[in-house]
Amino acid sequence: MTTALADPTEFRILLEEELGLHVDADDLDRPLDDFPDWDSVLLLRLVTVVESLAGRRIPVADLLQARTFRQLYEAVAGR
């Protein structure tokens, strides 16, 4: 597993460095709708970055069901 997927803290760092999103630890369980900058383009960028880091395909259908950043993390980390 890559460092960026090792835990939610590293995932938050990935979101900031790769997507320009600042997500605090308290934000992980807030609905994605609370983040005006979050959209489908960022979701696709996230998939691309994670697939590159993990060296495997990420099931986009799982990500589309996610309602929080924690759920996104769990989907990309395979949890």
- Identify the CATH number of the domain in which residue 71 sits: 1.10.1200
What's the CA angle centered on 76, arms 71 and 79, to 5 degrees?
A: 70
Cα–Cα nearest to 44, from 76, 11, 17, 12? 76
For the record, the structure tokens of 39 come out as: 């959209």
Q: What's the pLDDT tens digit per position in 31-48?
A: 999 999 999 999 999 999
How far is residue 58's CA from residue 73's CA, in Å, rounded to a whole number? 11
How far is residue 57's CA from residue 73's CA, in Å, rounded to a whole number? 15
Q: Where in the sequence is the domain holding 23, given as residue range(s)?
A: 3-76
What was the pLDDT predicted at 55?
87
Domains in the chain: how many in total? 1
Across the chain, which has 79 residues, the per-10-residue mean pLDDT values are 76 94 94 93 94 88 94 87
